[in-house]
Structure 1
Amino acid sequence: MIIVRPHTQAGVRGKPGSQFTGDVFPYMTMPATDGVTINTVDFTPGARTFWHSHENGQILIVLAGRGLTQSEGGPIEVLHQGDVVWVSAGERHWHGAAEDSYMVHTAISLGVTNWEEPVDDADYHNPTE
């Protein structure tokens, strides 16, 4: 058994060279343990992850605000507080806040994360195209 106390959680603001566009505040809820990493991430309006995939999948639990997510080739989906998202192993995707709202989610990542390029602004700002 591992117990992670709140005062040991490492809060870090997104920075240039990270895997985010915009201001993001990720908190390491549980460091990588047995191939599982848990982060709670605060996204400011318009902030989002880069395209990425997970070796064994990912679970997203939306805690507050409104967000967006998209799998490669699929439509952009709106996320609301209480939504839970399952992303299959190897599924290329991104997630983040809507342009006019913050979003907080807990991300449970299984296995290695493969980070790729940023989500193009034109694609993010034109979700119906």
Structure 2
Amino acid sequence: MQKIPPGPSAKGPSEMFTGDVYFDVIARGEEPSRLRVNTVRFAPCARTAWHTHACGQTLHVTDGIGLVQSRGGEVVVMRRGDTVYTPPGEWHWHGAAPTHFMTHLAMWEAPDPTSGQLETQWGEHVTDDEYRVPDGVEL
């Protein structure tokens, strides 16, 4: 067994995020494990850029209200206790609602290092038109 002391919180880089986002690495598995887990905190309106994970990603909201969308899909509201799964290769974004903070656990697995796949592929920033609360939804 190994107790791993927490590292400092890191600010999400502007190439990958819009707004104020901070994360803490919870788990970065050592081979043979390739598990990754981060706690990610989003200020209101903060969000990821479009991205995809080679092995998929699971988000579990621990506090606040957030938004998530798969490319071509509807924007979905996430609340504390909700879990969202995006399958391998699915382009998506996630972040806080316009008037709420949101914290989630982000969980994913790195691909086999011999596969040549990128763990996470980052795309363009989510536009203000893409970032919106679905019609008729009260936050």
User: How much does 1:61 deviate?
Assistant: 0.6
Match of residue 4 from structure 1: 4
In 1, Cα distance between equivalents of 2:95 and 2:23 = 12
TM superposition shift of 1:35 = 2.4
Residue 30, structure 1, aligned to residue 27, structure 2: yes
The one-letter code of the counterpart of 1:117 is: E
CA–CA separation in structure 1 for the residues paired with 2:84 and 2:3: 25
Q: Aligned letter for 1:10? A: P
Q: Which has the larger radius of gyration?
A: 2
CA deviation string 1:64-115 (max 9, x = no partner): 0000000011000000000011110111100000000000000002220111
Give the TM-score normalised by structure 1.
0.88
- Structure 2-normalised TM-score? 0.82
Q: Which amino acid aligns with 1:90?
A: G
Q: Tell me, which stretches of 5 or more residues in structure 2 are unaligned?
A: 111-118
Q: Which moved more, 1:84-93 or 1:28-37?
A: 28-37
- Structure with more of its chain in strand, by fraction: 1
> Pairwise mapping of residues 1-129 of structure 1 onto structure 2 (< 5 A)?
3-5=3-5, 8-17=6-15, 19-33=16-30, 34-111=33-110, 112-125=119-132, 127-128=134-135
Which structure shows the bigger proportion of residues in helix conformation? 1
Query: Would you say how many aligned residue pairs link Structure 1 and Structure 2?
Result: 125
* Matched AA of 1:14: G
Kindly, what percent of the aligned residue pairs are identical? 41
Shift of 1:13: 1.7
State the distance in 1 between where 2:51 and 2:131 align.
Answer: 15
Matched letter for residue 94 of structure 1: W
